[in-house]
Amino acid sequence: MKLLLLITLAVFCLSACSGKTDHVQNEERATVASETGQPAPLPADVIYSTKPLISGKLYSQPDFEAPSVAYFDTTQQIHILDTTHAMFAKARIRQDTMQYTGFVPKTILPEQKP
């Protein structure tokens, strides 16, 4: 009985120690990147990351009349998620501890170098 309990405890400890989530691994890679001066890895759904040329609004829909989700300035990183719309890019920004997803006009984004 003690042997079965010991084996169960050992298996539990090994499985708990070996299972890292993607979130933890991404944080570790970001920490290593910041310590070595390399750029932090982008999440899988991000095409590229950039800073806008001017301050602006993150819209809820790809329309200038849509309600704004958040405001951003030229110091913020914008993660571009989709560029298939003719005038808007689907984007995500982070402010403090919150993330907001919406649409930004493509004209405020710097031109992508090939």
CA-CA distance, 23 to 37, in Å (whole number)? 21
CB-based burial label for 104 (10 Å; 0-12, 13-18, 19+):
buried
CB-based burial label for 74 (10 Å; 0-12, 13-18, 19+):
exposed
Residues 31 and 54 in one domain: no
Q: What is the model's pTM? A: 0.63
Q: Which residue has the higher pLDDT, 57 or 36?
A: 57
The predicted-structure confidence for 77-86, as pLDDT tens digits, reads as follows 999 999 999 9
Residues 29 and 8 in one domain: yes
Report the pLDDT value the prediction gives residue 96, as an integer from 0 to 100. Answer: 86
Reply yes or no on whether the pLDDT at 70 is more than 70.
yes
Report the pLDDT value the prediction gives residue 111, as an integer from 0 to 100. Answer: 87
pLDDT confidence bin for 28, thresholds 50/70/90? low
Domain that holds residue 58: 48-108
Residue type, 4: L
Report the pLDDT value the prediction gives residue 2, as an integer from 0 to 100. Answer: 57
CA-CA distance, 25 to 31, in Å (whole number)? 10
Q: Domain total for the chain? A: 2
- What average pLDDT is seen over the chain? 78
Residues 56 and 98 in one domain: yes
Residues 58 and 30 in one domain: no
The predicted-structure confidence for 83-96, as pLDDT tens digits, reads as follows 999 999 999 999 88
